[in-house]
Amino acid sequence: MLIQIIYIAVLLAATVKSVVLAGKKGLSSQNFLAVFLMVSLGLEIYGHYKIYIREFDFAYLFNYYSIFMIVFFYSYYSKIFSGKLKTASLCVVIAILGYILLLVRFYGENYQNELGIMVCLYFIINALVWFYTRLKNFDEIKIMDDPHFWVSCGLLFWSIFFIFRTIPMFFLRDNDPAFLEILKNIQYGVNIVMYGMFYIALTQFEKSTK
């Protein structure tokens, strides 16, 4: 499907951009975003390959990917937050990971939607806290020139739609599969926008390190 090809192309473009920037300026110059993008691209390519050969036994990988996303973006924002916010962020991520380890069957064969919702809520909290602190504290740099603005917007946009799609998923699967398929295609569009925002963030990281 065309939208899937566009999605992979945008993700690939962002990943290549991040790798090139890392080669020039180091991974820390982009807050290690290249690591997240390379893992995401690898998983997406593997998943599409498995679908192409009609094997659907890879859903469990997204459980571990969800945990990876929580840990990665904790690390990402911990380099931005300071003081009490940094401590609070650590407490929140420890509580989330503890809940997952004790109460979520992330090691099972199927993807746990509960994990996806937890990832989204965590992203939303981080993004909103970043916006609050950024707007509260004066900075001579325009907010749209700040790479963290684009990362936070991308995560916020993706998370809100993912929750909207996930919560009624099982109901729609049984009662309106056609609408569920529409939401799935829209999700690809949302992914395209998010990774497009990440690409913009990388261009801002590049400018800030010159």
- d(CA 47, CA 39) in angstroms, rounded, equals 12
- According to the model, what pLDDT value does residue 23 have? 92
pTM: 0.93
Residue 176 confidence (pLDDT): 80
- The pLDDT, as a whole number, for residue 109 is 83
pLDDT of residue 75: 95
DSSP string across 17-47: HHHHHHHHH-GGGGTTHHHHHHHHHHHHHHH
- Quote the radius of gyration of the chain (alpha carbons, Å): 18
| pLDDT tens, N- to C-terminus, the chain (210 residues) | 788 899 999 999 999 999 999 999 898 889 999 999 999 999 999 998 988 888 878 889 999 999 999 999 999 999 999 888 999 999 999 999 999 999 888 888 888 888 999 999 999 999 999 999 988 877 777 889 999 999 999 999 999 999 988 887 777 777 888 888 888 889 999 999 999 999 999 999 998 755
Phi-psi region of 32 (alpha: psi -120 to 50; beta: other; left: phi over 0): left
In this predicted structure, what is the pLDDT of residue 209?
Answer: 57
